[in-house]
Amino acid sequence: MGLIAKGDQAAFTELMSRFMRPLTVFATRFLSSKSDGEDVAQTVFIEVWRKAGSFDPAKASVKTWLYSIARNRCIDTIRKRRLRQFVGLDSSAADIPSTDAEPSQIAADRAELRAVINELDLLPDRQRLALLLQTVSDMSTREIADTMATSDGAVEQLIRRARRTLRQKFNRNSDVRT
């Protein structure tokens, strides 16, 4: 981060190559929109370039700092989206990936994915955030707690509640893995 703060483009490129994809996947799942997820990830790196000098390794790892920025940009995006929907300017739908499978299987997979995304979207924001940071971004409880500015115990409770809610919705007896 020190090199990036001094304008080192190679260091910045290395950071982007390590974190662009994971941040995009996280933001895409959190926002249920590929284009919004890509926008958030790009915005994170614009902010990193501008504010690299403010990074304090005593407060957070680079990974948790990046995901904290991403979390904040996701929340901003949700707020803007809700305002646009409220005034009738937007009606967003989830981006659903396609495959080379049989049409009937694609339809079934898309229906299941749509149901999971819909249920994830209904979770309280903090539960959804904690669950996605764990499952999509493969972060530890400590990293999630740092990213969300909360305790390890609070993170564990948020994830437990999110999984319980999803299990109840899908009538499954085992942990839901997103």
Check residue 138 and give its pLDDT.
77
Find tokens 């001094």 and name the residue.
6
pLDDT, one tens digit per residue, over 70-100 is: 999 999 888 887 756 654 545 444 444 444 5
User: Which H, E and C letters describe 101-156, residue by residue?
Assistant: CCHHHHHHHHHHHHHHHHHHHHCCHHHHHHHHHHHCCCCCHHHHHHHHCCCHHHHH
Spell out the residues 6+ positions from residue 50 whose beta carbon is closer than 8 angstroms to its own: none
Single-letter residue type at 95: D
Check residue 92 and give its pLDDT.
46
Q: What is the mean pLDDT of residues 161-168?
A: 89
pLDDT, one tens digit per residue, over 100-120 is: 567 777 777 777 777 877 888
Statement: residue 140 has pLDDT above 50: yes
Q: Give the CA dihedral 119, 124, 128, 129, nearest 10 degrees.
A: 160
- Please give the model's pTM, rounded to 2 decimal places: 0.61
Using alpha carbons, list the distances in angstroms from residue 106 to 56, 81, 93, 113, 114. 46, 29, 18, 10, 12
Check residue 48 and give its pLDDT.
96
Distance from C-alpha of 40 to C-alpha of 27, rounded to nearest angstrom: 7
Name the residue ranges covered by the structural domains of the chain. Answer: 2-170
Check residue 100 and give its pLDDT.
55
Q: What is the mean pLDDT of residues 26-45?
A: 94
What rounded mean pLDDT belongs to the chain?
84
